[in-house]
Amino acid sequence: MHERVLVVEDDSPIRELLSFHLERAGMAVRALPTAREAMETVRSWRPEVVLLDLMLPDGSGLDLCRQIRESGDPAPLPGLIMVTALNEESDRVVGLEMGADDYITKPFSPRELVARVRAVLRRRQPEPGAAPARRIGQLSVDPERLRVMVGERPVEALTPTEFRILAALFDAGGRVLSRQQLIDRVWGTDFYGDLRTVDVHIRHIREKLGKSGAGDVVETVRGFGYRLGAEVG
């Protein structure tokens, strides 16, 4: 089965170029120029990855990113990759703040484009030989179904990257994981950003767990990294 990738880009030549290289890599691609059409397609077609331009004719790509992330779906949401001509660090951070999993700047090489999309796709899949569901207090992680529960309540709108970070903290069994250790376990050799990327994802995880009643179970250990708090054990 071909992986479904939605390209949202208003520049026709770039949209066609993105589609060509992704289809050549064996992916099923739909390409659209507007945020409105994209949101409708996300709901109906259920893409696994969305490549999203920062500037769209009917709104900001960042706003569309937020809408997708706040859709309230408890199932794994599509991986989001921001595609922009802006190469400033602040623009990359804003994209991550809105819930993007990765970013790529124009001009880009076809090889890098396909590699980044495949990296996000891999983070949406259960790892081979994934451990069975495990629980700490009321908080449970099911790697087979890519679900996180607080009691009987699913934690909604976790991104593929956020799920893998939380699963890595579970696997650590209360031990502290540094930012670099989390990067190695979640991104591996596919990582292109900086260590602060981890902090952004951790903050989103805390917010979503808090909304589901889990409290602040992800602790910061200053100068070291993160761990699951002892109070959930």
Given this model, what pLDDT does residue 74 score?
A: 47
Q: Is residue 129 assigned to a domain?
A: no
User: Beta strand 79-84 with 139-142: parallel, antiparallel or unpaired?
Assistant: unpaired
Which of the listed residues 123, 146, 173 is the one where a domain comes to its end?
123
105: domain CATH number is 3.40.50.2300
Are residues 119 and 140 located together in one domain of the fold? no
Given this model, what pLDDT does residue 87 score?
A: 63
Please state the length of the chain.
Answer: 233
Residue 121 tokens read as 């796709």
Are residues 164 and 87 located together in one domain of the fold? no
Given this model, what pLDDT does residue 145 score?
A: 74
Given this model, what pLDDT does residue 89 score?
A: 65
Side-by-side strand order, sheet with 225-228: 177-178, 225-228, 218-221
Name the domain count of the chain. 2
Are residues 102 and 157 located together in one domain of the fold? no
Are residues 8 and 108 located together in one domain of the fold? yes
Given this model, what pLDDT does residue 232 score?
A: 45
For the residues of the chain, what is the DSSP string, one character each? -PPEEEEE-S-HHHHHHHHHHHHHTT-EEEEES-HHHHHHHHHHH--SEEEEESEETTEEHHHHHHHHHTS--SSPPPEEEEEES---HHHHHHHHHTT-SEEEESS--HHHHHHHHHHHHHHTSPPTTPPPPEEETTEEEETTTTEEEETTEEPTT--HHHHHHHHHHHHTTT--EEHHHHHHHHTGGG--S-THHHHHHHHHHHHHHHHTT--S-EEEETTTEEEE-GGG-
Question: φ, ψ for residue 201 (rounded to 5)?
Answer: -65, -40
Are residues 92 and 155 located together in one domain of the fold? no
Are residues 113 and 193 located together in one domain of the fold? no
Residue 154 tokens read as 């699913």
Q: Is residue 128 assigned to a domain?
A: no
Domain that holds residue 89: 4-123
Rg (CA), the chain: 17
Are residues 110 and 139 located together in one domain of the fold? no
Are residues 13 and 109 located together in one domain of the fold? yes
Q: What is the mean pLDDT for each group of 10 consecutive residues in the chain (233 residues)?
A: 90 93 96 94 93 88 83 68 73 72 84 89 69 76 81 81 88 90 83 76 88 83 85 45
Are residues 228 and 188 located together in one domain of the fold? yes
* 3-class SS of residue 227: strand
Half-sphere exposure of 15 (CA within 13 A, CB side): 15
Given this model, what pLDDT does residue 233 score?
A: 41
Are residues 114 and 147 located together in one domain of the fold? no
Which of 73, 78, 46 lies closest to 159 in space, CA to CA?
78
Taking the C-alpha atoms of residue 117 and residue 108, their distance in angstroms, rounded to an integer, is 13
- Do the Cβ atoms of 98 and 50 come closer than 8 Å? no
Which of the listed residues 76, 96, 123 is the one where a domain comes to its end?
123
Taking the C-alpha atoms of residue 170 and residue 131, their distance in angstroms, rounded to an integer, is 11
Are residues 69 and 171 located together in one domain of the fold? no
Are residues 114 and 138 located together in one domain of the fold? no
Q: Is residue 194 assigned to a domain?
A: yes
| pTM for the predicted model, two decimal places | 0.73
